[in-house]
Amino acid sequence: MAYQGYADYFEEPVIISVAPTGGMHGKEANPNLPEQPEEIAADVRNCEKAGASIVHVHARDEDGEPTKDVAKFQELRDIIEERCDDIIVNFTTGGGNDREGRIRPVLETEPTPDLATIDLGPLNTRGDTVAMNTRVQNEEYARRMNDHDVKPELEVFGPGHLTEVHHLVEEGLIEEPYWTTLILGMQTGTIPRPRNLLNLVDNLPEGAEWQCMAIGRHQLPLTTMAMTLGGHVRVGMEDNVYYRRGELVESNAQLVERTADIANRLERPIATPEEAREILNL
């Protein structure tokens, strides 16, 4: 179906998500990237003030290495809730091939997160490493998230992953609006070109709400394009550690501030957390 969202361009607020940490590069890529709970929460608080209504959470251990330890996610959940006003919390299930270990933080923290990701298909990552995300896993994660009142965020790394979005819709495993992240420029995912973003958007199921994320130097132009299409956006140092060529970003809030400024210039209202909850039916 052709995308109809542009008709609501000036009416629907744009949701800004921030992904402050990620699970791959760390301070070796940018010393300003927050890894520990205190520095993550401080950065997220500033992001919320700048206009972010969703935070995408990865946890690190004391050495800065990615972890799926439920206690670490609980610590992050608690401190973000303590420091922020009302930002929506979104847990990752990405990273590794331990199916049960990846979803445990989503199901076992108190309270559970508002959102959690489902990586919809396989993806080459580094060297001989492949992230195996099967249809059976997608169905299982969707069912278990629904049972715990967590809304899935559907991560589309390549065009073929849209087939899995439609499958989950057809099986009745997700509810409208289908919150979908269109990802460009990551490993063997979608090549980051404007025409490819348009193609992804045009193949979404009716009833989807979508955001765009793009890697590195593609973050700025493609998220700006997404806002002109009436979509939502994700920024942050998980996806891009530079503010401009040769200049490392000082904080995640700096990226959110720039995105909010662009939204204002495009005359897109910026969603508060309360408005984002309404848009996503949380």
State pLDDT tens for residues 49-67. 999 999 999 999 999 999 9
Which pLDDT does position 132 carry in this prediction? 87
Give me the chain's average pLDDT, please: 95
Choose the weakest-confidence range: 7-11, 46-50, 147-151.
7-11
Question: Residue 254 pLDDT more than 90?
Answer: yes
- Please classify residue 134 by burial: count the beta carbons closer than 10 Å to its beta carbon, then call 0-12 exposed, 13-18 middle and 19+ buried: middle
Which pLDDT does position 106 carry in this prediction? 98
Show Cβ contacts of residue 24 under 8 Å, excluding neighbours closer than 6 positions. Answer: 66, 238
Residue carrying structure tokens 């503010």: 243
Domains recognised in the chain with CATH numbers: 7-280 (3.20.20.70)
The whole-angstrom separation of Cα 1 and Cα 219 is 26
pLDDT band at 1, cuts 50/70/90? very low
Residue 92 gets the label, from left (phi > 0), alpha (psi -120 to 50) or beta, of beta
With contact defined as beta carbons under 8 Å apart, do 156 and 115 qualify?
no
pLDDT band at 4, cuts 50/70/90? low
Show Cβ contacts of residue 78 under 8 Å, excluding neighbours closer than 6 positions. Answer: none
The whole-angstrom separation of Cα 2 and Cα 229 is 12
Q: What are phi and psi of 218, to 5 degrees?
A: -80, -10
pLDDT band at 10, cuts 50/70/90? confident
- Please classify residue 4 by burial: count the beta carbons closer than 10 Å to its beta carbon, then call 0-12 exposed, 13-18 middle and 19+ buried: exposed
Neighbouring-strand partners of residue 232? 211
What percentage of the chain has pLDDT greater than the value 90?
89
What percentage of the chain has pLDDT greater than the value 70?
98
Average pLDDT value for residue range 253-261: 98
Which pLDDT does position 5 carry in this prediction? 67
The whole-angstrom separation of Cα 49 and Cα 257 is 9
> Which one is predicted more confidently, 188 or 155?
155
- Cα 109 to chain centroid distance, Å, stands at 19
Question: Residue 36 pLDDT more than 70?
Answer: yes
Tokens standing for residue 17: 């998500």
Show Cβ contacts of residue 211 under 8 Å, excluding neighbours closer than 6 positions. Answer: 15, 17, 179, 180, 181, 182, 226, 231, 232, 233, 234
Q: What confidence tens digit (pLDDT) does each residue in 95-151 have? A: 888 999 999 999 999 999 999 999 999 888 777 788 889 999 999 999 999 999 999
Q: Give which of 195, 161, 167, 163 is closest to 181, Cα–Cα.
A: 161
Name the residue type at position 63: D
Residue carrying structure tokens 């590195």: 216
Tokens standing for residue 39: 């520095």
Q: What confidence tens digit (pLDDT) does each residue in 138-166 have? A: 999 999 999 999 999 999 999 999 999 99
Which pLDDT does position 216 carry in this prediction? 97
